[in-house]
Every structure is written in structure tokens, then in C-alpha cells.
Amino acid sequence: MVLKVFFPTCCTSAESGLLVGRWVPEQSSAVVLAVVHFPFIPIQVKELLARVQQAGRVGLAVLGTWCHCRLQEPEEGLGRFLEGLGAIFTHEPWLQLCRERGGSVWSCKALGWPMSPGAPSPAPVMLIFYDQRHVLLSQLHTPATLPDPQAGDAPPSVGGLAAVFDTVARSELLFRSDRFHEGPVQLSHWQSEGIEASILVELAKQASGPTCLMLSFLLSLLSAVGACRLFRLWPLPFICSKLSTCEQARHRLGHLTFLFSPRKAESPVQLMRKVNVFFSLLLDVALGLALLAWLRAENCIGQLADALVPVADCVAEELQHLLQWLMGAPAGLKMNRALDQVLGRFFLYHIHLWISYIHLMSPFVEGILWHVGLSACLGLTVALSLLSDIIALLTFHIYCFYVYGARLYCLKIHGLSSLWRLFRGKKWNVLRQRVDSCSYDLDQLFIGTLLFTILVFLLPTIALYYLVFTLLRLLVVAVQGSLHLLIDLINSLPLYSVGLRLCRPYRLAAGVKFRVLDHEAGKPLRLLMQINPLSYSRVVCTYRLPSCGCRPRLSWSALCRKLFFGELIYPWRQKAGKQD
């Protein structure tokens, strides 16, 4: 059995002393965390390890000795002294790690290590160097295992490297040992310099607690006002559920409540989510302010307000031409003249009402658009949601056309399917929700045949109107869908995690890889452990923030089925698996 010794690269040039770390018997591994230098008092070293173990809940011990023999130092006296320390700090196995003269020759012995019968003597040792800072700050998402040269192709252990990463993470208090003792015990390890950057950081930490309490109180007060009974009266809940602005404001309010909660993050995943929410809000507000500055600089609001009424008139004129084309002989098709004229005049009257509504609102258009621009101060997503609602209001006549056409077409399809079952001697059983056999008399068959013939001849006219207005509706839906996808991207993009993967790839570890440093006969195999970062796609999938349900959940097959049978569709926005 191979003994694996994890040794920090920051200690390769340390002075001789004791190896302090943790022994993992399940993995036959020894994780070295620090080197205690001479001179020291053994009782002080034991007290230090006991305090760190009590604070960090990780079992630390003296694993062995470390000898760094330089060219000008005598080797025999130091070696005898280090061997005598095994009687004071008893541990099995007792490691004797030495870097000999010249710095390129390493030796490692494990005294008291049980060997299987027939195993070579001394026991084989694998020396693995690791960057203590990278392992301490990283989060291992896919624990790998260490290759065992004598194990062949055995399946890897799930907790192989997880124990190593967990040991280093929970032993962070050892690296700040000045908090636990005032004695002359000197350690060599990765020094956590730069974490406490400046006094401004300390002041920010001190002020974050009262600030979070105050903001949390204000947000809870705002939530209590929103939950008032006055806002529950119909039709306010129904209108708020249909407006994208209300949904986005509710979503951002939940983000702010989570972000400014005084409760401490319970896990690194929750802390990462908080930071991602903070950067998502920061990006949203920054983009909104940039949009507002551009609108004010270019005077786009005034230009858009001046062009809105002429554009509406142009759209209305084109729709009138389209309806007049449908009321004639579109594409040479022979339509039902009476039904065609009724439907055409009905839709033309709606266009006339819509144009009157636009001209009535024209004096207030610029003020409304300015308020939409000012809403960008709350974030770009709020402005985009408000823009989506304005598009829905401005194209309400197209929505009405689509609903009228879809309902008529759906009624025709259901009528034809029911009459088709009549010809086959079947009927739909409403109670059992199935098709049963049924016998019809002559009068029922005659009336059914007459109605079926009428519906068949009227179907092309209604289907043509339904097709045209459905295409117009899908065009509006595509515009709104693009806005909602952009909102969803800003809401759910884990910006901090992506930036961390770009600037500090070792922080998000997908596993490790090993590079052979030295492999000589009679010498320990020396490997260098390097961290494999997560891929960008996996970072986005792992740390993606929950959105407000703006993404489409209908498959293309389900969407085509709904379009064919005339069912109303809302492909741009669904929540809780239910159509709005």
C-alpha cells in the first residue's frame, strides 16, 4: 500500500522542524499543513494544536520531522535530534521528510507504517506537492482521487481529494495562529496576507451589520405595505399578475430581501449566491443609468414621442389595406362573401377605435415615455419590463384580432370534430372523458350533415383570418420575447462566478491533475497537484440565479399543436408550469 504525503510548496524552502498536519487513515494519506521551526517547547506546540483543533474542529497532530540540510550545515547532529523528537510526539506512521544538500534530492521515510505481506521494504511513499493558497480558497465541485500505482484500474474513491481540500479549508485558523498564542512558536505556511486589505475594509465590515438591519427593516415594511388588503381587491391582483413590471419588481424585491438579510451565509454556495445577486443588481442599475444618460444626451424621448403617432397611423393604414385585401379575393381564393364582409367590417371598426385611442393619448405620450426612461434608475430590467407592457398596450388591437380569430377557428374545429364523430356513430362521453358508441336517428343525421357542410364551407374564410392575425400576434410576441429573454439574462447571469472563473480559475475547481516531477528508483515519487477549473458553461449552469419565469416552456411540437387547434398561446412568459 502506498503512503501519500501532501506537502505544501510554500514549505519546500522552510527551515528544519516538525511537520504539522492531519492523518487521513481511510485514504492512507498525510496532509502536511505547516512546519514548526526551532527553537520551540513541545508543550507549547501541543497547546497550539489543541486550540486550533477546538476552534476549527479538525484533528491536527505532529506527523513527523522535516529536515532541510543546506550545504554549510552539519547533517549528523541535526538528524539525531530530529529522530529523538519521535519519542515526544508519538504518531504512527512517523514521517521523516528530508531535502538533502543541493535542494534537488528528496527522501521520505514512514516509520511504523504497516505493510502487507510481501510488500517491498521500506514502504513506498508518494510525495505530492500542492499550492496551499489555491487549495484553501478553491471549492471542489467534482472530488477526484489520487492515482495509486499499485492499484491498477481500481475505481476511484469519491472522498479522495475532498478530505484534503476539507482539511486545508478547516485549518485556516492555524495560518492565523497569532490569535491563539503569544509564545515563541514559529510556523512556516502560506501567509494570508492581503485578506484584510485596508482600514476601509474593516470599517465597511463594521458598518455592514447596522446597514443590513436598517435595509432589512425597510424592505419588510415595504413588503407589509404590499400585502395590505387594499392591494388584494379585485382586479388589482389580476392586473399585477399580467404586468411584467410588477413581476420584475417583485422579483427584485426578493433579491434585495435576500441580499440585505442580517443572517450569515450558512454555506459557501449561499455566500456565492449572495455575491452573484449583488453583482446582478449592480449590473442592472449600471445599465439602467447608462441608458438614462444616453436618452437624455440624445433627446431620444422627444424624438420617439413625435414619431409615435405617425407610426401608429401608418400601422393602422397598413392593417386597413390588409383587411381590404382579405375582404376581396386574397391570392385568388374564393371566400364566403357574407362572412368575409362581416369579419372585415368588424375588424375595421376595431382599428378605428384603436386610432381614436392613440390620438386621445398623444398629448400624454411624451410624459409617459419620460417616466419609462426614469424607471431605468431602478434598473434596466424594470425599464425593459415597462417597455414590454407598453408594447402590449399599444398592440392590444392585434391581440383582440388574434383572440377573435382563434376562438372562431377553435369553435369550427371542435364543431367539425364532433360532427365527424356523428357520422361514425360515436360521441364524446363528458363524464368518463372518452369516445363511446352511439346510435343516431335519421333527423339527427340530416341536421348533422347540414351543419357539417355549412362549417366546412365557412372554414376557409375563418382559417384565413385566423392565419393572418396569428402571424401578426406572433410578431408582437417575438418582440416581447426578446425583451423578456434579455431581462432573464440579466436576472440569472452569475456575473461574479464568471468573473471569478476568468480572473481566479482555481477558485472554482472541477478536479485536479498531477504532473510528475521526479521518478527515480529508490526515491519517492514526486508529483505536483494542479487544479482543473470548471468550464464556463458549467459555471453558468451551477451558479445560475433563479429567474422570474420569463423563459418559454412550450416545446415546438406543443406550440404547433396549439396553433393548429386554435388554442390561445403565451409562449413568451409562463410561471409554475401554468399559462398566464
Least confident among 164-168, 237-241, 373-377: 237-241
**Which residue(s) pair with 130 in the sheet?**
8, 529
> Do residues 181 and 305 both lie within one domain?
no
Predicted local distance difference test score (pLDDT) of residue 197: 43
User: Is the predicted pLDDT of residue 263 greater than 90, yes or no?
Assistant: no
Number of H helices, E strands in the chain: 18, 15
Burial class for 205, CB neighbours closer than 10 Å (0-12, 13-18, 19+): exposed
> Do residues 300 and 413 both lie within one domain?
yes
Q: From residue 334, how far is each of 324, 411, 412, 463 by CA, in Å?
A: 15, 22, 19, 13
In a domain, 101, yes or no: yes
Phi, psi of 97 (to 5 degrees): -105, 130
Question: How far apart, in whole angstroms, are the C-alpha atoms of residue 253 and residue 339?
Answer: 51
> Do residues 528 and 558 both lie within one domain?
no
Q: Cell match 430581501: residue? A: 257
Instruction: Give the pairing of strands 508-518 and 139-140.
Output: parallel
> Is the pLDDT higher at 516 or at 224?
516
On average, the pLDDT of the chain sits at 78
> Do residues 377 and 514 both lie within one domain?
no
Most confidently modeled range among 254-258, 298-302, 329-333, 411-415: 411-415
Predicted local distance difference test score (pLDDT) of residue 233: 72
> Is the pLDDT higher at 206 or at 52?
52
Q: Cell match 420617439: residue? A: 304
327 Cβ contact list (under 8 Å, min separation 6): 340, 341, 344
Predicted local distance difference test score (pLDDT) of residue 330: 82
The percent of residues in the chain predicted with pLDDT above 90, rounded, is 6
Give the pLDDT band of residue 190 (cuts 50, 70, 90): low
pTM: 0.75
**Which residue(s) pair with 82 in the sheet?**
none
Q: CA 525: distance to chain centroid?
A: 41
Tens of pLDDT, residues 411-441: 999 888 888 888 777 887 777 878 778 878 8
Predicted local distance difference test score (pLDDT) of residue 471: 92
User: Is the predicted pLDDT of residue 92 greater than 60, yes or no?
Assistant: yes
- What would the 3-class secondary structure string for 420-489 be? HHHHCCEEEECCCCEEEECCCCHHHHHHHHHHHHHHHHHHHHHHHHHHHHHHHHHHHHHHHHHHHHHHHH
In a domain, 482, yes or no: yes
> Do residues 436 and 486 both lie within one domain?
yes
All 3 cell numbers of residue 85? Answer: 523528537
Identify the helix (H) or strand (E) that includes residue 244: helix 244-259
- Domain that includes residue 435, residue range: 295-493+546-579
Question: How far apart, in whole angstroms, are the C-alpha atoms of residue 74 and residue 66?
Answer: 15
Predicted local distance difference test score (pLDDT) of residue 27: 79
> Do residues 160 and 50 both lie within one domain?
yes
In a domain, 232, yes or no: no
> Is the pLDDT higher at 518 or at 455?
455
Q: Average pLDDT, stretch 346-367?
A: 85
Is the separation of the CB atoms in 527 and 517 below 8 Å? yes
* Domain total in the chain: 2
> Is the pLDDT higher at 473 or at 52?
473
> Do residues 512 and 572 both lie within one domain?
no
In a domain, 252, yes or no: no
Give the pLDDT band of residue 402 (cuts 50, 70, 90): very high
> Do residues 518 and 371 both lie within one domain?
no
All 3 cell numbers of residue 428? Answer: 364524446
Q: Can you say whether the dihedral through the CA atoms of 127, 131, 137, 143 is positive or negative?
A: negative
Q: CA 222: distance to chain centroid?
A: 27
Predicted local distance difference test score (pLDDT) of residue 409: 93
Is the separation of the CB atoms in 282 and 347 below 8 Å? no
Predicted local distance difference test score (pLDDT) of residue 195: 43
Question: How far apart, in whole angstroms, are the C-alpha atoms of residue 472 and residue 481?
Answer: 14
Q: Average pLDDT, stretch 265-270?
A: 76
> Do residues 526 and 402 both lie within one domain?
no
In a domain, 231, yes or no: no
- What would the 3-class secondary structure string for 145-182 be? CCCCCCCCCCCCCCCHHHHHHHHHHHCHHHHCHHHCCC
Tens of pLDDT, residues 25-70: 887 888 888 888 777 777 877 887 887 777 767 788 888 888 877 5
In a domain, 327, yes or no: yes
User: Is the predicted pLDDT of residue 177 greater than 60, yes or no?
Assistant: no
Q: Which of 53, 44, 56 is nearest to 18 (CA)?
A: 44
Predicted local distance difference test score (pLDDT) of residue 571: 52
User: Is the predicted pLDDT of residue 120 greater than 60, yes or no?
Assistant: no
In a domain, 244, yes or no: no
> Do residues 430 and 522 both lie within one domain?
no
The percent of residues in the chain predicted with pLDDT above 70, rounded, is 77
Q: Is cis: bond before 184, omega within 30 of 0?
A: no
Predicted local distance difference test score (pLDDT) of residue 287: 92
Predicted local distance difference test score (pLDDT) of residue 403: 92
Question: How far apart, in whole angstroms, are the C-alpha atoms of residue 69 and residue 103?
Answer: 8
Predicted local distance difference test score (pLDDT) of residue 141: 67
Question: How far apart, in whole angstroms, are the C-alpha atoms of residue 524 and residue 414?
Answer: 81
Predicted local distance difference test score (pLDDT) of residue 180: 45
> Do residues 131 and 62 both lie within one domain?
yes
User: Is the predicted pLDDT of residue 320 greater than 50, yes or no?
Assistant: yes
In a domain, 240, yes or no: no
Question: How far apart, in whole angstroms, are the C-alpha atoms of residue 189 and residue 187?
Answer: 6
Expressed in percent and rounded to 5, the helix, strand and coil fractions of the chain are 60, 15, 25
> Do residues 550 and 524 both lie within one domain?
no
> Is the pLDDT higher at 578 or at 129?
129
Predicted local distance difference test score (pLDDT) of residue 466: 93
